[in-house]
Structure 1
Amino acid sequence: MGFSMEEKSIRVLRVIKTLFFLIAMLISFLFFSVPVLLVIADTLLPFSLLSASLSPSSLSFKTLSSHFNNYDFRYSLIDIPLISIIRSAVIICVYSLCDGPRLSRGPYLGITTICSVLSLIYVSLKAPYVFSVSSIDRGEYAKAMEIALFVCSWLLAIGHIIVAYRTSCRERRKLLVYKIDIEAVSTFKNGFPGYKKIPKQERIK
Structure 2
Amino acid sequence: MRTTTLIPRRIATTGITVLGAAGIATAALTGTAHAAPQTAEPAHQTAAKAAAKPAKADDKADKKAEKAEKKGAGKKAEDYPDNLDGWIREAMSIMKKHGIPGSYDGIKRNIIRESGGDPNAVNDWDINAQKGIPSKGLLQVIQPTFDQYHVKGTADKLTDPVANIVAACNYAADRYGTMDNVDSAY
Same fold by TM-score greater than 0.5: no
The structure carrying a bigger helix percent of its residues is 1
What TM-score do you get using the length of structure 1 for normalisation? 0.25
What TM-score do you get using the length of structure 2 for normalisation? 0.27
